[in-house]
Amino acid sequence: IDSGTIGNTGLKAFLSYSNTRADNWRGAGYDTRQHIDAKILGEWGAGNRASLALSYNDANSSSYPSPTLAEWNAQGRDFNYDERYTAGNTNYWRLYRAPFRNLYASAPVHVVLNDRLALDSTTYLQFGYGNSPYGTQLTTEGNFLGTEELAQPIALPGAVDGVATVLGNYTGDQMRTGNVSKLTFKTGAHTLTAGLWFDYGTDRVTQSYTSIDADGQPFDRWGYRSKAIRTADGRLLAYENQRTVTVTKGFFVADSIALTPRLTIDAGFKGVNVLRNGRNYLPGPQDEVRNDSFAALPRAAIHYRIDDRQQLFANITTNFRTPNEFTLYNSYYGGEVVVRGTDALKNEYSVSQEIGYRFIGEQLSASVTGFHYKFRNRQLATVLDQGGAQVNATLNAGGQTSYGVDAEIDYRPVAGVSLYLSGEYLRARIDDDLPVGADFLPTRGKHAVSSPTVQFGAGGIYDDGRFFGSVASKYIGRQYASFMNDERIKG
């Protein structure tokens, strides 16, 4: 629904709704999604505007099992979750459906203060809750809560000989709010920008358990704590139970200089501070956690317009990523600390350079870009075997260097028809040996995992205003699945 301009108010609004259902591309199951977008916009004066945008999403998505090379060779696309439930089966597809809902609201405002100065400010708010479940089994006795051994048995509906198949929950309950504001000042050949960013977020993460019925249907697919399995004294039975508060503060300054009508140079700097405070609710030696870090992020770019259709460009940018918040917390198994939380992991930091050429014509658009990326303190998500327990962990894996070329062409021979070709060459190498416990794997010089050397894509679109359709294909070259490059996936 599009309102158009509402009377003489200067307001416009729209509302859209979609409902989607799609069968899984392999194996049993299907996905569902409901989505709502809405926006109201007001404009006044010479270029002033303010709006409120809302976006709501409610989805239930399937996950797919990840085969080993041997499993893939043996079963191929038939390596799936089971279509029908039998008693004791933890591989039933309904135990691996991930529901998620979120609401996002933003209120951007643009105010022209005078012919040289403008203010932009965006306030935002986001709520999200979801569950990434899995099938598992629990016993009525021999359980632990953190480091505490449970002396009394737990009640498990449907247990046979003290064992019950249950839904293992991995839930996240998030809230974020913040504001980004900037002033833009134009003087001569310069366009100066300065701004501030503030973000406050909470994240409650719980790994709990929910009972299922005789047909394999979970009593509660959302994994709410109020409906989860409890200990004999009423506490939540959880493998993980924590709440993290993240406060992000940043500032940025930039200058865009039009040296000539064809040549523009941009330079800027951003500083970001990330502070995390959290609490581990499981019994054990850890209660509160804290981590504080800062990243300095300079960047620069140059753009030269050869003519109305051709452009040359180059840039150097920096970026960073903080360690996952979960690295702050202890992990427990069998009443023991199997991974000790740490605040010693460093931020991942990257420096990227790009140089390229772009052509934009009436029937043909094309670009070619050379790139070079250098990573320091690369964040590596992995699984560690700790006393028989498979525990998720994050490591600082040293450096990684990548470079290559991207190219793409879009050809529009007649109205309504578009043909597309793209390709990439990538050389990605690990710069350091990988720390494993008290030793190192000799990974220096190895191919980075999941980094195919070549990729090609081709596609076409037809749209005459009444009928439309598209076709696309992609080739992904050989890539490695292990850091030692002893297991690879064919192209």
Q: What are the pLDDT digits (tens) for 255-279?
A: 999 999 999 999 999 999 999 999 9
Q: Give the three-class secondary structure for 54.
A: strand
AA letter at 292: D
Q: What is the pLDDT of residue 384?
A: 62
Q: What is the pLDDT of residue 307?
A: 95
Q: Give the three-class secondary structure for 326.
A: helix
**pLDDT category of residue 10 using cuts at 50, 70 and 90:** confident
Which H/E stretch holds residue 392? Answer: strand 389-396
Q: How far is CA 130 from the centre of its chain?
A: 14
Of residues 127 and 466, more confidence is placed in 127
Beta bridge partners of 206: 171, 241
Residue 21 is encoded by which pair of tokens?
Answer: 């259902």
Q: What are the phi and psi torsion angles at 316 (to 5°)?
A: -135, 125
Residue 461 is encoded by which pair of tokens?
Answer: 């679109």
pLDDT of residue 308 exceeding 90, the answer is: yes
Q: What is the pLDDT of residue 387?
A: 47
Beta bridge partners of 435: 440
Which H/E stretch holds residue 74? Answer: helix 69-75
**pLDDT category of residue 217 using cuts at 50, 70 and 90:** very high
Residue 326 is encoded by which pair of tokens?
Answer: 């979960």
Comparing 112-121, 237-246, 326-335, 376-385, the range with the smallest average pLDDT is 376-385
Q: What is the pLDDT of residue 433?
A: 93
AA letter at 269: F
Q: What sections of 219-361 are H helices per DSSP?
A: none
Q: What is the pLDDT of residue 190?
A: 98
Measured distance CA(234)–CA(155) in Å, rounded: 11
Q: What are the phi and psi torsion angles at 482 (to 5°)?
A: -130, 150
pLDDT of residue 124 exceeding 60, the answer is: yes
Q: Which of 5, 106, 125, 109 is nearest to 52 (CA)?
A: 106
pLDDT of residue 312 exceeding 50, the answer is: yes
Q: What is the pLDDT of residue 391?
A: 58
pLDDT tens-digit map of 38-88: 999 999 988 999 999 999 999 999 999 988 888 888 998 899 999 999 999
**pLDDT category of residue 28 using cuts at 50, 70 and 90:** very high
Residue 231 is encoded by which pair of tokens?
Answer: 């200990």
Q: Please, which residues have CB within 8 angstroms of residue 311's CB and are 6 or more apart in sequence?
A: 303, 304, 305, 357, 358, 359, 360
Measured distance CA(406)–CA(361) in Å, rounded: 19
Measured distance CA(475)–CA(452) in Å, rounded: 10
Q: What is the pLDDT of residue 179?
A: 99
Q: What is the pLDDT of residue 388?
A: 47
Q: What is the pLDDT of residue 392?
A: 65
The count of C-alpha atoms lying within 13 angstroms of the C-alpha of 392, restricted to the half-sphere facing its C-beta, is 11
In this prediction the pTM is 0.90
**C-alpha separations of 245 from 106, 203, 279 in Å:** 21, 7, 9
Which bin fits 223, alpha (ψ -120 to 50), beta or left (φ > 0)? left
Q: How many residues does the chain have?
A: 491
Say if residues 107 and 120 touch (Cβ distance below 8 Å): no
Residue 347 is encoded by which pair of tokens?
Answer: 């931020």
pLDDT of residue 24 exceeding 70, the answer is: yes
pLDDT tens-digit map of 319-342: 999 999 999 999 999 999 988 898
Q: What is the pLDDT of residue 482?
A: 87
Say if residues 350 and 297 touch (Cβ distance below 8 Å): no
Map tokens 């609490």 to a residue: 279
Buried b (16+ CB within 10 A) or exposed e, 145-169: bbbeebeeebebeebeeeebbbbbb
Q: Please, which residues have CB within 8 angstroms of residue 186's CB and are 6 or more apart in sequence?
A: 116, 117, 192
Q: Please, which residues have CB within 8 angstroms of residue 45's CB and are 6 or more apart in sequence?
A: 112
Q: What is the pLDDT of residue 400?
A: 95
Q: Over range 232-236, report the average pLDDT.
A: 96
pLDDT of residue 383 exceeding 70, the answer is: no
Q: What is the pLDDT of residue 140?
A: 96
Question: How are beta strands 148-149 and 240-258 bridged, if at all?
Answer: unpaired
Q: What is the pLDDT of residue 379?
A: 87
pLDDT tens-digit map of 341-381: 989 889 999 999 999 999 999 999 999 999 999 999 998 87
Measured distance CA(53)–CA(362) in Å, rounded: 34
Measured distance CA(459)–CA(471) in Å, rounded: 5
Q: What are the phi and psi torsion angles at 133 (to 5°)?
A: -85, 175
Q: Which of 262, 348, 342, 275 is nearest to 307 (CA)?
A: 262
Q: Over range 82-111, report the average pLDDT.
A: 96
pLDDT of residue 103 exceeding 50, the answer is: yes
Q: Over range 181-201, report the average pLDDT.
A: 98
Q: What is the mean pLDDT of the chain?
A: 94
Question: What is the set of domains in the chain, with CATH numbers?
Answer: 17-489 (2.40.170.20)
pLDDT of residue 126 exceeding 50, the answer is: yes
DSSP codes, 152-202: SPPP-TT-BTTEEEEEEP-EEEEEEEEEEEEEEEEETTEEEEEEEEEEEEE
The count of C-alpha atoms lying within 13 angstroms of the C-alpha of 3, restricted to the half-sphere facing its C-beta, is 16
pLDDT of residue 386 exceeding 70, the answer is: no
